[in-house]
C-alpha cells in the first residue's frame, strides 16, 4: 500500500501545483457610472432589522465556528438617501463582516425600484454577524461558512427596505461636519504607521431634528467572544443604537483605515467590555464640535472598475505549497474590483473594497486629494497594504491575497473616480 499512497500523494501535489490560474489580463480602470449635482440638499434615513434565516453560522473567523439561533442585540441595515436637484443616491450600511460583489449587485438591483440612480454599499466589519452569504470557496473556508442563498436574500431584502423607507422620508436638510482625534481608542496592528484615531462626524439636520448622523472611524469590531452562540453587531451596532436613542437620527458607523480597539481603554470583561467601548465612543461622538456647511452642496457618486493583479499566496503558505495556494486564491478571487468616490459638500471620500491599512490610506489620499478613505465598500478583496511593506513581508501583507501591485491598481482607479467626481485639493 505504501507505493500506492506515495503515488496518490505525489499525483495530488502535482495536480495542485499545476498553474490553474493562467494569465490575468491587466487593463486601465474604466468608468462604470457617475451621478453629479449641485444645489439644495435633501436627505432621508431609515433603520431596518436584518433577519437572518436561523440557524446560521457566526461569521468572522476560521473553524470551528459557533451556530446561532438568535441575535443579541439585533442586526440592522441602515440607509441614507441623498438628493440634490432631483439626483438621488443611497448609502447603505450593513452589520456584516464584509459585503461581496453579489450582495452589492443584489442591493442595487432592488434599489432601482426606489428611484435611486446609484447606491454605495458598506459593511460595519462586525466579526460576530451572520455568515453564509459569500459563495467564494476561500471565504467559506476561513470566514463566512457554507454559502446559503437565503442568507444573501435576507441581507439584500433588509438593505432594500431601508433604502425604500429612507427615500420615502426625504426632507430638506443642512450639513454639519466636524472631527476630533481619539488615539486612545485604537492601537496599531502589525507594522506600518500608527493607527489614525480620527473620529469624523457628519450630521444631516432637518428643520426639527437630525435626520441622520454618519460617523467615520477605524477599529476592528472583534470584541465579541468567538464562540458566542448569538449573532451580534459588536460595538458598531451598540454605538449606533445609543446615538439614535439620544436623538441623533439614524446613525451609521463607517470603517476607515485598519486599527484595533484599544483593550486598555475599555472597561469590564467579555460582553461588558463591548458595551463600555460603545458607550465611550458614543459619548466622544456627541462631543465632536460641528461646523455648519449650509444646505447648498455638491453631490457626486462615481464608480469605477479596475482589473486585479494575479493572486499571490507567497506570504500566506509554505513555499512548497505556493502554487497550490495561488490556485486556491485564483478560484476564489474576482478578476475585477470596484473603487468609488463620494463627494458631499466639503467631504471627499474614496472607497476601497477591502481593508486598507493606514499606510495604504495615506497613499490614496496623497494621490487623490481625498478627505479620507472608507473600507469594506462594494466588494471584498481582503487587506490592502503599502507596496513597500508587502515586499518586506511586514504589516498586513501576511494577510493580503495579492502581490505588491494591488495598491497601485486600486490607486489608479481611485484617481479616475476622484477626478471624475471633481475632487479639489
Q: Which of 115, 220, 104 is nearest to 170 (CA)?
A: 115
pLDDT at 14: 43
pLDDT at 267: 63
Count Cα atoms within 13 angstroms, Cβ side, for 223.
31
Please say whether the beta carbons of 385 and 363 come within 8 A.
no
75-103 confidence digits (pLDDT tens)? 999 999 999 999 999 999 999 999 999 99
Query: What number is the average pLDDT over the span 120-147?
Result: 95
pLDDT confidence tier of residue 326, bands split at 50, 70 and 90: confident
How far apart are the C-alpha atoms of 238 and 418, rounded to whole Å? Answer: 33
How far apart are the C-alpha atoms of 404 and 390, rounded to whole Å? Answer: 5
pLDDT at 155: 98
Task: Give the rounded distance of the alpha carbon of 185 from its chain centre.
Answer: 20
Ranges of H-type helices in 202-335: 234-245, 271-286, 322-332
Helix (H, G, I), strand (E, B) or coil at 210: strand
Query: What number is the average pLDDT over the span 158-174?
Result: 98
Query: Does residue 119 or residue 220 have the better pLDDT?
Result: 119
How far apart are the C-alpha atoms of 347 and 349, rounded to whole Å? Answer: 6
Helix (H, G, I), strand (E, B) or coil at 250: strand
pLDDT at 314: 84
pLDDT confidence tier of residue 332, bands split at 50, 70 and 90: confident
Task: Give the rounded distance of the alpha carbon of 247 from its chain centre.
Answer: 26
> In the chain, pLDDT over 90 holds for what percent of residues?
74
pLDDT at 265: 64
pLDDT at 260: 81
Residue 87 pairs with which residues in a beta bridge? 84
How many degrees, rounded to 5, is the angle at CA 70 between CA 65 and CA 72? 95
Spell 288-317 as b/e; 16+ CB within 10 A means b.
Answer: beeeebebebbbbbbbbbbbbbbbbbebbe
361-385 confidence digits (pLDDT tens)? 999 999 999 999 999 999 999 999 9
Note if the bond before 184 is cis, omega within 30 degrees.
no
209-239 confidence digits (pLDDT tens)? 999 999 999 988 999 988 889 999 999 999 9
| Neighbour tally for 141: CB within 10 Å | 14
Lowest-confidence pick of 28-37, 145-154, 268-277? 268-277
| Neighbour tally for 384: CB within 10 Å | 31
pLDDT at 395: 86
Please identify which residue in the block is written with the cell numbers 438628493: 83
> What Rg, from alpha-carbon coordinates, does the chain have?
21
Q: Which of 384, 301, 328, 324 is nearest to 98 (CA)?
A: 384
Query: Does residue 36 or residue 115 have the better pLDDT?
Result: 36
Answer whether residue 266 shows pLDDT above 70. no
408: Cβ contacts below 8 Å, ≥ 6 apart: 387
Query: What number is the average pLDDT over the span 140-164?
Result: 96
Domain residue limits, the chain: 21-32+299-421, 37-294
Q: Which of 291, 378, 296 is nearest to 94 (CA)?
A: 378
Please say whether the beta carbons of 80 and 159 come within 8 A.
no
pLDDT at 55: 97
Max Cα distance, the chain (Å): 81
Count Cα atoms within 13 angstroms, Cβ side, for 88.
23
Q: Which of 390, 392, 415 is nearest to 404 (CA)?
A: 390
pLDDT at 130: 97
Please give the backbone phi and psi of residue 74, each rounded to the nearest 5 degrees, phi first: -65, 155
pLDDT confidence tier of residue 313, bands split at 50, 70 and 90: confident
pLDDT at 230: 95
Q: Grid coordinates representing 331? A: 478560484
Please say whether the beta carbons of 229 and 243 come within 8 A.
no
Amino acid at each position: 500500500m505504501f507505493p500506492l499512497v506515495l503515488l496518490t500523494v505525489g499525483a495530488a501535489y502535482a495536480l495542485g501545483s499545476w498553474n490553474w490560474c493562467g494569465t490575468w489580463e491587466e487593463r486601465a480602470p474604466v468608468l462604470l457610472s457617475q451621478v453629479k449635482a449641485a444645489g439644495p440638499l435633501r436627505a432621508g434615513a431609515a433603520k431596518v432589522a436584518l433577519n437572518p434565516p436561523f440557524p446560521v453560522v457566526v461569521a468572522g473567523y476560521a473553524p470551528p465556528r459557533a451556530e446561532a439561533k438568535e441575535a443579541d442585540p439585533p442586526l440592522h441595515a441602515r440607509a441614507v438617501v441623498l438628493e440634490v436637484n432631483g439626483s438621488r443616491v443611497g448609502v447603505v450600511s450593513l452589520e456584516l463582516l464584509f459585503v461581496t460583489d453579489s450582495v452589492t449587485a443584489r442591493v442595487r438591483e432592488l434599489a432601482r425600484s426606489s428611484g435611486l440612480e446609484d447606491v454605495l454599499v458598506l459593511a460595519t466589519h462586525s466579526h460576530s454577524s451572520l455568515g453564509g452569504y459569500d459563495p467564494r470557496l476561500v471565504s467559506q473556508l476561513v470566514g463566512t461558512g457554507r454559502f446559503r442563498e437565503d442568507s444573501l436574500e435576507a441581507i439584500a431584502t433588509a438593505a432594500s427596505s431601508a433604502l425604500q423607507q429612507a427615500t420615502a422620508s426625504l426632507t430638506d436638510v443642512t450639513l454639519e461636519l466636524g472631527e476630533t482625534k481619539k488615539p486612545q481608542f485604537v492601537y496599531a496592528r502589525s507594522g506600518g504607521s500608527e493607527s489614525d484615531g480620527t473620529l469624523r462626524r457628519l450630521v444631516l439636520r432637518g428643520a426639527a431634528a437630525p435626520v441622520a448622523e454618519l460617523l467615520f472611524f477605524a477599529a476592528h469590531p472583534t470584541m465579541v467572544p468567538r464562540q458566542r452562540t448569538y449573532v451580534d453587531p459588536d460595538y458598531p451596532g451598540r454605538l449606533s443604537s445609543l446615538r439614535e436613542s439620544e436623538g441623533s437620527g439614524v446613525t451609521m458607523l463607517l470603517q476607515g483605515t485598519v486599527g484595533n480597539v484599544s483593550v486598555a481603554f475599555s472597561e469590564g470583561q467579555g460582553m461588558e467590555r463591548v458595551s463600555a467601548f460603545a458607550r465611550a465612543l458614543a459619548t466622544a461622538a456627541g462631543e465632536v464640535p460641528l461646523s455648519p456647511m449650509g444646505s447648498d452642496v455638491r453631490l457626486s457618486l462615481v464608480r469605477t472598475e479596475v482589473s486585479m493583479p494575479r493572486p499571490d499566496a507567497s506570504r500566506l503558505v509554505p513555499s512548497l505549497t505556493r502554487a497550490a495556494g495561488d490556485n486556491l486564491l485564483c478560484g476564489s478571487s474576482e478578476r475585477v474590483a470596484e473603487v468609488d468616490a463620494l463627494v458631499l459638500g466639503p467631504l471627499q471620500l474614496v472607497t476601497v473594497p477591502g481593508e486598507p491599512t493606514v499606510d495604504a490610506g495615506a497613499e490614496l489620499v496623497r494621490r487623490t486629494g481625498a478627505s479620507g478613505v472608507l473600507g469594506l465598500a462594494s466588494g471584498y478583496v481582503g487587506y490592502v497594504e503599502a507596496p513597500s511593506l508587502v515586499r518586506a513581508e511586514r504589516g498586513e501583507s501576511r494577510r493580503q491575497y495579492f502581490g505588491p501591485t494591488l495598491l497601485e491598481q486600486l490607486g489608479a482607479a481611485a484617481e479616475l473616480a476622484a477626478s471624475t467626481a471633481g475632487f479639489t485639493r
